[in-house]
Amino acid sequence: MHRKRWIEYIANEMLLRILNQPYPKEWKSGHGMRMALLSGCIVFVFLWVFEPFGIVQSPVKNINLFMLGYGMVTSLVVILFLPLPYIFKNYFNEENWTVGKNIGFFVFNFFFIGIANLLYTHFVTSMPLMWGSFLFFQFVTVAVAFVVAGIVTLIKYSRLLQLNTAEAKQIEAEVQHIQQPLSPGEIILVSENEKDEVLRLAENNLLYIGSADNYSKVVFLENAKVKSQLLRSSLKRTESQIHNPFVFRCHRSFLVNLSNVVSVSGNSQGYRLHLKNCEESIPVARRTGEELHHRLNSLFANKN
């Protein structure tokens, strides 16, 4: 009995670890429409091939059109929920999006698809609306949705994790080739009013600069210790004051000094840069990945 509980504990821990893994969020309108149509097609094909739940016994003239209707209902409900990520931006923030949230959002969609399927069946077959019918459609729809969403999510997670891990290793190898020699150069950053706040630091000591509302958070090394200072200036304005090719805009919220990158790690959302003596890692946006490769290759070519 003790052994069984130990196995259950390990299994639960592994499941929680997987569900809490970061997952890429893709809420572009074009992608959402494709997913809505694909979901409807999958539902229709599933019903047409397996004919589950006694669907062929339904009192309709054309069973194929009846099954196609369930696919159309699925697509329409998914389309109706496409604006949610734009309305509840904090919840759907990509940095906090996980495998578990992705599966949960699928199940949330299919809960309402179950209600829509019940209403569709009622109007087409005159099936009475009762609690028993409601519970049956919810059980069938959500159960199928959880299995399908879980399988699709985990397959995609595994594929992206493998791709991004390999990409991270390549970036790390390129970074090792461009380590900047000690330079006497200095970075001077001035606040927006151009007189109250001025920060001077050696180029090699800059780690990264992050956006913090109307401020820029400058993180740097001083006597081998990590320090930070807020500067009243937008990240775009701060970037315009730096003319060092090693300082790269890797994300909409971050500038990073590539010469202080010591390692690169990948996950399903992309990859992150790890800096010298710094606990915080810096994300690389997907849209800047190719540009980062070009910058590193350019720095390596200039070095030689």
Is residue 15 over pLDDT 60?
yes
Could you read off the pLDDT of 184-218 as tens digits, one per residue?
Answer: 678 888 888 766 667 888 888 999 999 987 889 99
Which is higher by pLDDT, 272 or 268? 272
Could you read off the pLDDT of 209-257 as tens digits, one per residue?
Answer: 999 878 899 999 988 889 998 888 888 988 999 988 889 998 889 999 9
Closest CA to 229 of 210, 204, 248, 250: 210
User: What pLDDT does 63 receive?
Assistant: 94
Could you read off the pLDDT of 22-50 as tens digits, one per residue?
Answer: 777 665 556 678 878 888 888 888 889 88
Closest CA to 274 of 264, 266, 285: 264
Give the separation between CA 87 and CA 90, rounded to whole angstroms.
9
Joined together, the tokens standing for residue 297 give: 């290759």
- Percent of the residues in the chain that have a pLDDT greater than 90, as a whole number: 17
User: What pLDDT does 64 receive?
Assistant: 94
Give the separation between CA 181 and CA 131, rounded to whole angstroms.
73
Whether the CB-CB separation of 206 and 247 falls below 8 Å is answered with yes
Tell me phi and psi for residue 257, to 5 degrees: -90, 105
User: What pLDDT does 197 receive?
Assistant: 64
How big is the CA angle at 79 (ends 93 and 112), to the nearest 5 degrees?
A: 90
User: What pLDDT does 118 receive?
Assistant: 92
With cut-offs at 50, 70 and 90, classify the pLDDT of residue 122.
Answer: very high
Is residue 67 over pLDDT 70?
yes
- Percent of the residues in the chain that have a pLDDT greater than 70, as a whole number: 87
Average pLDDT, the chain: 82
Q: Is 223 left (phi over 0), alpha (psi -120 to 50) or beta?
A: left
User: What pLDDT does 62 receive?
Assistant: 94
User: What pLDDT does 29 receive?
Assistant: 54
* DSSP per-residue string spanning the chain: -HHHHHHHHHHHHHHHHHHTSB------HHHHHHHHHHHHHHHHHHHHHH-GGGGGGSS-S-HHHHHHHHHHHHHHHHHHTTTHHHHSTTTT-GGG-BHHHHHHHHHHHHHHHHHHHHHHHHHHH-----HHHHHHHHHHHHHHHHHHHHHHHHHHHHHHHHHHHHHHHHHHHHHHTTPPPP---EEEEE-TTSSS-EEEEEGGGEEEEEEETTEEEEEEEETTEEEEEEESS-HHHHHHT---TTEEEEETTEEEEGGGEEEEEEETTEEEEEETT-SSEEEE-GGGHHHHHHHHHHHHHHH-
With cut-offs at 50, 70 and 90, classify the pLDDT of residue 11.
Answer: low
Whether the CB-CB separation of 84 and 112 falls below 8 Å is answered with no
| Average pLDDT score over residue span 150-164 | 77
